[in-house]
Every structure is written in C-alpha cells, then in structure tokens.
Amino acid sequence: MGTTSMNNTEDPELGEAGAQLSTAPVETAADRTPGGPTLGVIGWARWFWRQLTSMRVALILLFLLSLGAIPGSLIPQNSVDEMKVQAFRDRHETLAPLYDKLQFFDVYSSVWFSAVYILLFVSLIGCIVPRSWQFVGQLRSRPPGAPGRLTRLPAYTTWRTAAEPEEVREAALTMLRGRRFRAHGVGDAVAAEKGYLREAGNLVFHVSLIVMLIAFAWGQLFKSEGGKLVVEGGGFSNTLTQYDDFKSGSLFGTDELTPFSFTLDSFTGTYARSGPQRGTPRTYEAALTWSTPGSADRKQVVEVNRPLEVDGTKVYLNGHGYAPVVTVRDGKGDVVFQDAVPLLPIDNNVTSTGAIKVMDGYRDKNGKKDQLGFQAFFVPTFAGAGKGDMFSQFPGLEFPVLALTGYHGSLGVDAGLPQNVYQLDTRKMKQFKGADGEVLKQRLLPGETMQLPDGAGSITFEKDVKEWATFQITRQPATGWALTGAVAAIGGLAASLFIRRRRVWVRAVRGEDGVTVVEMAGLGRSESAKLPEELTDLALTLHAQAPTAPGETEEPDVPAEGAQQ
C-alpha cells in the first residue's frame, strides 16, 4: 500500500476537517520574507520574532547546539580537568591563545555556546506559549463537522441500513463517547476526536526541557565541589582551606559551604579471596563520625555509591589507598619524623608509590641542617622474595612490603612553588649510596629498619599500616528539579510519540430510495495503519446496531487504493 509520512492535515481538499489537529506552527511563505516596503522597527521586530519561533529556526538552532558541543569533547576543558588543559597549552603554544580567544577551553560556558542555547530556549518559550493557548482553545471547542465528501479521507466505509438516520447517529454518538472520543452531532453527522493527550504530552515535554535547563544552570552557578584525602584517624571540616582541590560555580559564595565536619574512623576494603574474581573488591566502607555545629556526633558508613548527605551537601567516597607509618631518626637516634604517609595506587592491586619528606628538624651527623626525602614503593601483598618485581598480587593487606631509596639535600619546598606531595623533586638532592657504592635500596617488612650510611640516621617501617580514603564533597542545588523535569520529559515524549490524535465522522442520511446510508471516515494527524483498523472496529460495532439492510451487501465502489490527484 502506498503510504506516506505526510501529515494529512496539510491536504487542502479536506478543508476544515484537518484543522487544529495539532498545534505545530504552519509555515507560510510570508513567514520567510519580511513583507512590505514599510516595515518599521516594530515590523522588523515582529518578523524577527516570527523567525525565531518558527520550527525551521528551531531546527537550525538544534543543529548549532550539537555542532557547538563537539569541540568540547575533543579539546580538554577547564571544567573537566585543568591539568589536561595546562598540558595542552604547553604542547600547542600557537594554538592555545587562539583557543583562548574562542573560549575553546570553556566551551560549555562560552559566550557563543550560551548564545545558541539561550536563543533556542527563547524560541522554545515563544513557541510553547502560543501553542498552549491554541491547545486550550482546542480543548474548549468541539471537533469540526464532517467534510462534504467523506470518501476523500484516508479511511472510509459505507453501508445501507434499515435503521433510521437519527437512530444511527444516536448509536454512533453513544458508541464514540463510550470509547472516550469527544463527540457531538453536527448536521447530518457525528464528529468525534480522540488523542488530545498527544498534544498535551508534547507541550509537557517542551516545558520540561525548560525546567531541566533552568535546574541545570542553577546547579552549575551555585555548585561547589572539592576533594579531600583523609588518613584513618584524620578529619575534615567543611571550609575552603581544608580542601585539596576545589571548584565552584560563578555565583557560589564561600558562606554557602554547609558547616559540618567528620573524622575517618576506619576504612575497610574486602576483596574476593579466591575464584575467578580473586582480587575484586567486595566492599569499600568508610566509617565516619560526623557532626554539625551544635549537634552531637553521629556515625555513618559511607560506601562507593552511597554518600553521606548533610543538608544538601554530599560526601562521596571515591578512592582509597594505604598510608604506611614510618619513623625517621637522625644519627643520634632522635625521632625527627613519624607519620602515616599516604601513597598513591598505580594499579588494581594497589601497588603504590609516593614520597616521604622530612622537611625540618633533621640534622646530619655534623649537626648541619639538612632535609631528607625517600622514594617509596609499597605493595600490600608481596609476591615473595625472588619472585620478580615489586607489583602487588592482591589489593588486601596480606604481605605488606615497603621499598625505599633515600636522598638528602634540598627538597625544594622553600621555593614558594606549590609542590606535589607525592613526588620527590630530586634535582637538588643526592641519593644515599651503600657501602658498595651502589644506590641504597631496601625492601622492608613491617617493623624493619633501613639504616642510612655514615650515621645519617635510619627509617623504620612501623607495624602499623593505615588506610586512607579520598572524599569528594559536592553541593549541587536544584538536582531534584532536574530529575523531575527529566521524568516529565520522558512521560511527555512518550505521550507525544505514541498517542495518535485522530478524528472520526459518522454520517447517516436517507438515500434517494428511502434507505439509510451510513458513511464513516477517519483522519489522523499523520497516516497510520492503526487508523483503518480502528475504523473497522468502530464500523463493526455500529453495524451490529444498524445492520446492513436486508437484500443488500455493502460493497462500496471506490477504487481500493491509489486515488491520485
């Protein structure tokens, strides 16, 4: 069957029958060209507004929006990872200033990207408001009367019956209303319509888009987000200085940080011990004690997908690792450093690296001030001596080994530049050498000590290995609104795409020979195979009450299909 995607509502021959079957704006040639020679300011403004709220411009803006989003996925973004942006700047010295000018490092908050979506949403509002009024009008008016020739409609049937025309119309009205059509009698026919929810759904969908956008923008402007590494026993209180790193929206004020604090009592990671999944984490749990000013301490366990929530601020657990406790002594045996040193994991089995820095308090054997640095390599589960490399075999703490090499000299921390605490800047340091002249390197078991050469002191790997956890502390207002908008958008979309809006007419008139002729026809907003099915069903129901007149078969002599213009 030759079918088409064309909206039936645009068939000029149907006249009023297809009018107001939707609220989509109809584009006319006049919309496209500014009309008349005497187009004043108001005329232009009007023309511009009509352009902006036309479907064609909406389409173009949608294109621009997706096009504009592309650079942000290919070029590193400040909002995602500033380190990567910096790396990019270092690599592309000529390109970077150009990108800066084009705001390519901040695509999603750039002037041009904002312009596109703001225009789109102005267009959307300008489109929704009149469409809503129109829809309300449609709800209050009644379906238009039957067109003159029902045979021109996409689905049609007819038969002759002995029942009176009034009876047939009455039966049709009852039947259609029973099937939740809005139906009324106009002249010699009954007009009915169904599926208004389609339009309602479409409007809900577009309104939800606006709700989502506002909620998202609000969340972006007022959000705050920062990370903090806490070793077991350590704590955090929610002020700016306590964060390891911090980002916030442009309208965020520091007084908006929810006042609260917590301490990490313990971190527990358990792992599958055997089977194909060996080593796979089973649980990550951070036991916190937290409080807000003026309230008692409370306890809560935070897991990976289960944050602690304090008054709109969420504390997510998003990383963990080990912090071996080490003690450094000087040549005289005095303790100059004792702390748990967090090391960063480099693989799934938590092989970790990091640096131990002794900044002050240390004097060498001559009593001169010096600084010590150690490069540390840690595995929670060692493969066993002679079994090759220092890679952990299991993420749990089963056979911890700490490997160290030491340096002395200047750590370079006084230069005023911020320094990565996990890396050792050895440019101004000298590596300790063993008696054999080889680099001093040692693997320590818990409790073991590495002696530094020439009475420079010692470093001890204590029996205590602490764990640390990183937390992400975020506050993003209006999340609830975004979710509500999203759910409404899906609902509206489904209604808009799956509900068919259609009209049915039933005409019953006395024919020239005195026998009643029943004609039924259906029209949908867009052509659908369901329409004839539904019409058949309706016709059969009506036919049961107004059966074919005795001595007749109905066989409408219409071309079966393919009536051409």
Partner 1 sequence: MTLAAATNEGLAEISNYLIYSSMAVYTLAFFAHMAEWLFGSRSKVARTAAALTAPKEAAAAAPAVTVRTAGGTTVLDKPKVVTRAAAGTRDVPDGPGAHGGTEKGDLYGRIAVSLTALAFLLEASGVIARAVSVQRAPWGNMYEFSTTFSTVVVGVYLALLLAGKNVRWAGLPLVTTVLLDLGLAVTVLYTKSDQLVPALDSYWLWIHVSTAIFCGAVFYLGAVGSILYLFRDSYEAKLASGGRPGRFATSVMERLPAAASLDKFAYRVNAAVFPLWTFTIIAGAIWAGDAWGRYWGWDAKEVWSFITWVAYAAYLHARATAGWKGRKAAYIALVAFLCFLWNYYGVNMFVNSLHSYAGV
- In 3D space, the residue among 360, 524, 518 whose CA is nearest the CA of residue 18 turns out to be 524
Count Cβ atoms below 10 Å from residue 522 Cβ, excluding itself.
26
Task: Select from partner 1, ligand HEM, none the partner in contact with residue 124, using the beta carbon and a kind-dependent cut-off of 5 to 8 Å.
Answer: ligand HEM
Instruction: Decide whether 159 or 382 has the Cβ nearer to partner 1.
Output: 159
Instruction: Decide whether 209 or 456 has the Cβ nearer to ligand HEM.
Output: 209
| Cα–Cα dist 528/538, whole Å | 16
Instruction: Decide whether 457 or 532 has the Cβ nearer to partner 1.
Output: 532
Instruction: Decide whether 129 or 497 has the Cβ nearer to partner 1.
Output: 497
- Judged by CB under 8 A, the stretch of 36-44, 331-339, 345-353, 420-428 that binds partner 1 is 345-353
Count Cβ atoms below 10 Å from residue 121 Cβ, excluding itself.
17
Which residue from 45, 115, 125, 494 is in contact with partner 1, where contact means CB under 8 A?
494
| Cα–Cα dist 466/402, whole Å | 13
DSSP states of 21-67 as a string? S--PPPP-HHHHS--SS---HHHHHHHHHHHHTSHHHHHHHHHHHHH
What residues contact residue 265 under an 8 Å CB cut-off, 6+ apart?
232, 233, 287, 288, 289, 299
- In 3D space, the residue among 228, 293, 289 whose CA is nearest the CA of residue 258 turns out to be 293
Count Cβ atoms below 10 Å from residue 155 Cβ, excluding itself.
23
Residues 367-426 that bind partner 1 (CB under 8 A): 391
CB 95 within 8 A of CB 86: no
Under the binding rule (CB under 8 A), the answer on residue 536 touching partner 1 is: yes
Instruction: Decide whether 379 or 489 has the Cβ nearer to ligand HEM.
Output: 489
Angle between helices 530-545 and 165-178 (to 10 degrees): 130
Task: Select from ligand HEM, partner 1, none the partner in contact with residue 53, using the beta carbon and a kind-dependent cut-off of 5 to 8 Å.
Answer: ligand HEM
Under the binding rule (CB under 8 A), the answer on residue 55 touching partner 1 is: yes
- Judged by CB under 8 A, the stretch of 135-143, 312-320, 360-368, 501-509 that binds partner 1 is 312-320
What residues contact residue 461 under an 8 Å CB cut-off, 6+ apart?
324, 325, 326, 402, 444, 445, 446, 447, 448, 449
- Judged by CB under 8 A, the stretch of 153-161, 286-294, 331-339, 368-376 that binds partner 1 is 153-161
| Cα–Cα dist 118/362, whole Å | 61
Under the binding rule (CB under 8 A), the answer on residue 238 touching partner 1 is: no
Instruction: Decide whether 120 or 469 has the Cβ nearer to ligand HEM.
Output: 120
* Residue 286 bridge partners (DSSP): 267, 302
Under the binding rule (CB under 8 A), the answer on residue 122 touching partner 1 is: no
Instruction: Decide whether 202 or 349 has the Cβ nearer to ligand HEM.
Output: 202
What dihedral do alpha carbons 334, 335, 336, 342 form, nearest 10°?
160
- Plot region of 255 (φ>0 → left; ψ -120 to 50 → alpha; else → beta): alpha
Task: Select from partner 1, ligand HEM, none the partner in contact with residue 320, using the beta carbon and a kind-dependent cut-off of 5 to 8 Å.
Answer: partner 1
What residues contact residue 255 under an 8 Å CB cut-off, 6+ apart?
none
Nearest distance from residue 230's CB to ligand HEM, in Å? 42
- Plot region of 551 (φ>0 → left; ψ -120 to 50 → alpha; else → beta): left
Task: Select from ligand HEM, partner 1, none the partner in contact with residue 214, using the beta carbon and a kind-dependent cut-off of 5 to 8 Å.
Answer: none
Instruction: Decide whether 367 or 384 has the Cβ nearer to partner 1.
Output: 384
Task: Select from ligand HEM, partner 1, none the partner in contact with residue 432, using the beta carbon and a kind-dependent cut-off of 5 to 8 Å.
Answer: none
Which residue from 33, 37, 40, 74 is in contact with partner 1, where contact means CB under 8 A?
74
Which residue from 99, 159, 362, 468 is in contact with partner 1, where contact means CB under 8 A?
159
Task: Select from partner 1, ligand HEM, none the partner in contact with residue 127, using the beta carbon and a kind-dependent cut-off of 5 to 8 Å.
Answer: ligand HEM
What residues contact residue 19 under an 8 Å CB cut-off, 6+ apart?
9, 144
| Cα–Cα dist 114/65, whole Å | 9
Task: Select from ligand HEM, partner 1, none the partner in contact with residue 560, using the beta carbon and a kind-dependent cut-off of 5 to 8 Å.
Answer: partner 1
Nearest distance from residue 553's CB to partner 1, in Å? 4
Task: Select from partner 1, ligand HEM, none the partner in contact with residue 281, using the beta carbon and a kind-dependent cut-off of 5 to 8 Å.
Answer: partner 1
Under the binding rule (CB under 8 A), the answer on residue 65 touching partner 1 is: yes
**Phi and psi at residue 541, to the nearest 5°:** -65, -45
Task: Select from ligand HEM, partner 1, none the partner in contact with residue 123, using the beta carbon and a kind-dependent cut-off of 5 to 8 Å.
Answer: ligand HEM
Tracing tokens 């090499």 back to the chain, one arrives at 405
Report the chain's C-alpha Rg in angstroms: 38
CB 390 within 8 A of CB 401: yes
Contact residues: ligand HEM, CB under 6 A:
22, 24, 53, 55, 58, 62, 120, 123-124, 127, 202, 206, 209, 496-497
Nearest distance from residue 178's CB to partner 1, in Å? 19
Size of the site for partner 1 (CB under 8 A): 112
- Judged by CB under 8 A, the stretch of 154-162, 336-344, 408-416, 502-510 that binds partner 1 is 154-162
Return the H-helix or E-strand segment holding 90: helix 82-91
Under the binding rule (CB under 8 A), the answer on residue 309 touching partner 1 is: no
Which residue from 131, 320, 329, 357 is in contact with partner 1, where contact means CB under 8 A?
320
Task: Select from ligand HEM, partner 1, none the partner in contact with residue 135, using the beta carbon and a kind-dependent cut-off of 5 to 8 Å.
Answer: none
Task: Select from ligand HEM, partner 1, none the partner in contact with residue 479, using the beta carbon and a kind-dependent cut-off of 5 to 8 Å.
Answer: partner 1
Instruction: Decide whether 133 or 273 has the Cβ nearer to ligand HEM.
Output: 133
Instruction: Decide whether 127 or 355 has the Cβ nearer to ligand HEM.
Output: 127
Nearest distance from residue 267's CB to ligand HEM, in Å? 44
